[in-house]
Structures are given as C-alpha cells and as structure tokens.
Structure 1
C-alpha cells in the first residue's frame, strides 16, 4: 500500500480520541504497524526520545507501542524509529505515526488513547520544563561568561548542558554533562557538591511557587503535521516563556500538585542528574 501523505496529529490540542481511515500497515517485528490519516496518539520521537509513546486501542485492538515512521516520496518502504535515514521534517519525506498492534486493520477505525497514562506523562513533561527553568535560576550565579538565556532571562544551563531527558508518569529525570566544554563556556563547577542541597532547595521552592501561581499552559503549533515545530508556552509570574517541544502537557501549573526536586552528582563529578517528582492533587 503506497503512503503519500504525512500523518496529521491532534494530541497537541489534548485530544485522546478520534476516528480515521487506515492508509497503510507495515510489519514491526512479529506485530503490525497500523498507519492512519489522523491520530490522537503521541509516538516516541526517534530524535529526542524523552516522552514515552501513548498506549490505548485502535479499532478495538490494543496499541502496545507507537513509533515515528517515514517514507520517501515515491517509494513504499517505511523506515521506523532509529532506522529513519533522514532528518526530522526533511523535505521529500512523509512522516508517520505507526501504531503497533497485534492485528492488521483496514477501513475506518476508532482510536482511543489511555487517558490516565497520557495525563500522567503530560504532568511529567510540564513539570520537567518548569524544573529546568527553576534549575537555570538556581545556577545563574555560577556563570562567568555570557551564554544564551532562557525565557526568564537566566543563563540556560538546561539547554547548554543537557544530554538526556526522560519523562515519567508524574515525574522526569534529566542528565547534564559538566565536562570541559561546559567549563569553557563559563560554568563554574567548583564547590558544586557542597552547594547541591541548597541549589536543590532553591530549585524546588521556585517550582512550587510556579505551581501555586496556577499559570496557564498551552502548545503553539503552526500545523497539524507530525513534524510541525511546536512550542510549549507558560504564563509565569515573571513573564511568558516558550520552549520548543513536541510532547503533551497539562493546561495549568496548579494541576501538577505537590512537587519535589532532587539533584545528584556522579562519583566523578562529570554528570548532574535532576529528578522531579509530582504528586497530583
């Protein structure tokens, strides 16, 4: 079956249900990858796999995974995940959401996302962005040189040093590299281990303050294509901030409930890990 159009997605608007036509079925190991014209399912991003894929049902069959696919225009081979030989959004390719299930499907199908799991991951992702901004503020005094600033005007430690991010249900885990490259950019790591408890306290206090502010959250999207460059925006007391993001989110910070932040240095001092934990109201 030839696929000549990209999947349209509705999850940026918070949708968890839909109905659409099957446009293709591809093998995924010993299972099937069902592709539809439009879906509410959020797939794992193969370039920055921070938020896990949605699960749920498609045509009544369980969706156990959801991955990104791509097919070159005029060809029929669908490449999946890490095997995609093109950059995200590269012209000349159709970009697809592939629903992994146990049976091939055809015709019109109902799509139902596990809404509870989606909400838990959305909370984790919203909390992750807020914690990153709070960490930037807590570390602002450790820069000796000017570096790009975040939306609140603080040196953007998060975007400068991050090596991996993992969104979890009601939480997140972010890992930062504190190597020579970061030091050359002006970051001072001297005495960081001793100051870590105070930095964690300041980060956590600011996160709690923003949650209590009941700030509005929204996703700006220039289009419904999977590869559209979407932006997370939050109207914090210090001003509205925006962060490029392809994930899902809650609509207000107060929905995050209680929050806790812990910071850990690796034994060699080369990595800093921030763990954010949320307890929904």
Structure 2
C-alpha cells in the first residue's frame, strides 16, 4: 500500500480514486487518491476539508478529512491517535475521510468513487491560511525595532518573533487566531516586552498598513510540492513588493492576493504574558 496521492496543492476540488480501506467503527474511508486536504495531527492549524464521496447513486457526506496511518502490522491510527510524526518509519500515511453516519455497502474496498470538496469552505480556509501567514510576517516587521539582541530572521529578514513566541495558531474561514507567549525566555532573548505593551496601538496600525500594501500588490501565491503523496514536503510561496517569501506549509492557499479586499489584525494584550492576534480577511467581490 502506498501513501495517499493528493491533488489539493494544485487547487483541485474533485477527483476519483479507489477505496483501500473502510473502518465502520472509526467512520473512516481511505482512498488511494484524493483532493481533500486533511487536518494535520501534529500541528492542527487548518481544519480538514468537508464534502462528499459518491459511487453510483450513493452519496456519503464527509465531515472532515483527517490524517491516518497504517502500521506495517496493519493497525489503523487516526488523527491524534497516531503515535508518530508524519512520515515516521513503519507506517503508511493516508488521508482519512471521516464520514457522517454509517458507511453504505456501495462504498467498499475496491470501489471506484468520486470525491468532491466543499468549494466555499475550502476557499474560505485558504484565504484564512494565506492571511495568517501574511499577518505573521507583518507582525515580525512591525516589532523589528524591539529586539536588543540578534536572533534568527523570517523570510523577509525581520527578527523572527513569530518563530520565537508563537504557541498556537488556529485557522478558520477567512481568518485566524494566533497566540504568542511573552514570557521570561523571550525577554532573555532580547525582546522589549514593556516597550511593546506601551506602543501596542501603534504596532497594530503599522501591521495593518503593511498588510494593506501587500493586498494592493495583488502578488502571486502558490504551493510548490516535492512529490504527489500526502507526506511529501510542500512550500507556500508568495510574491510581495519586498520580494518572494516562502516557507514549509502543509495547508491550502489562495492563488493571488487579488482574492482579498482586505486583511487586517487586532492585537489583544490584556494578559501581559500572552499576545492574541486575530486576523480577519475580507474576500474580494
């Protein structure tokens, strides 16, 4: 058995495949190839796609696509129950389609099925994910002068606040919520937390100015892949006025920043140890 071949990096919303596994207890259908993007079990920032699986007159609703893995001994593990990181040896890595209700007899091992992704949901999540990445880059740029020591840099050359402080990221339709820990270790690394708190409103304004300029540039956004399987590395790349940026990312994205009317953030520092950044994307009409 080979790892699932995926077409979502190319923007596919439909495809055909052969059913390889049906697990009624787990409500999981595994197919050899799929357009569905699954939620990652180790960094579940972007929810999995929803949609349907069809064979003949039988249609089965897919609530969410998830990561699945089958051990060399034949054991199926799904989502957070997978005991190893993606690509770990001794496992075959698959996309599981978690279904709503019982799986009908027509969707059985060996059946050829049609898979259809909910397009509106996918596009909204893609906008949310691209906006999340852009907001993190704008945040790094807006906080660059608050570092008293040299640290690693992000793809635009700004001090990498995102990489140092981010503790969680949750993408949703047309937006995201990111949390950053502003603790003792960050201060030891040279970050001026007190200066940040004193200038919070100005930093937010600066981030939104940067984002407005990037949206106006209507730059290209794309995913580069090293292979067709779910475990092959994927890189998000985007053309900005400052140059092209890129970093590893397993999610889905827009094709162009022209798909946005606007991207904006709000910063919440009610807890001085925790920055919450809420990103909101408005789709272009």
TM-score by length of 2: 0.93
Q: Paired residue for 1:213?
A: 217
Cα offset, 1:28, TM superposition: 4.7
Aligned residue for 1:278, secondary structure, equals strand
Q: How many Å separate the matches in 2 of 1:177 and 1:171?
A: 20
Q: RMSD of the TM alignment (CA)? A: 1.1
| Alignment CA distance shift 1:151-1:22 (3 Å) | same
Q: How many Å separate the matches in 1 of 2:239 and 2:196?
A: 31
Q: Paired residue for 2:69?
A: 70
Matches within 5 A, 1:21-36: 21-29=18-26, 32-36=27-31
Which consecutive aligned stretches of 4+ in structure 1 deviate over 6 angstroms post-superposition?
none
Aligned residue for 1:149, secondary structure, equals coil
Q: Paired residue for 1:231?
A: 235
Matches within 5 A, 1:109-120: 109-120=113-124
Q: How many Å separate the matches in 2 of 1:146 and 1:134?
A: 19
Q: How many Å separate the matches in 2 of 1:157 and 1:9?
A: 32
* Superposed CA offset, 1:140-199 (max 9, x none): 001111111111110011111100001111111111111111111111101322211110
Aligned residue for 2:250, secondary structure, equals coil
- Equivalent residues, number: 274
Picking from 6, 26, 38, the partner of 1:43 is 38
Gap runs ≥5 in structure 2: none
Picking from 251, 256, 264, the partner of 1:252 is 256
Whether contact under 8 Å (1:28, 1:100) holds in the other structure is no
Q: Paired residue for 1:270?
A: 273
Q: Paired residue for 2:47?
A: 52
Q: How many Å separate the matches in 1 of 2:244 and 2:90?
A: 35
* Superposed CA offset, 1:108-153 (max 9, x none): 0000000011000000000000010000000000111111111111
Whether contact under 8 Å (1:7, 1:97) holds in the other structure is yes
TM-score by length of 1: 0.95
Picking from 163, 166, 172, the partner of 2:170 is 166
Q: Are 2:138 and 1:139 equivalent residues in the alignment?
A: no
Q: Paired residue for 2:60?
A: 61
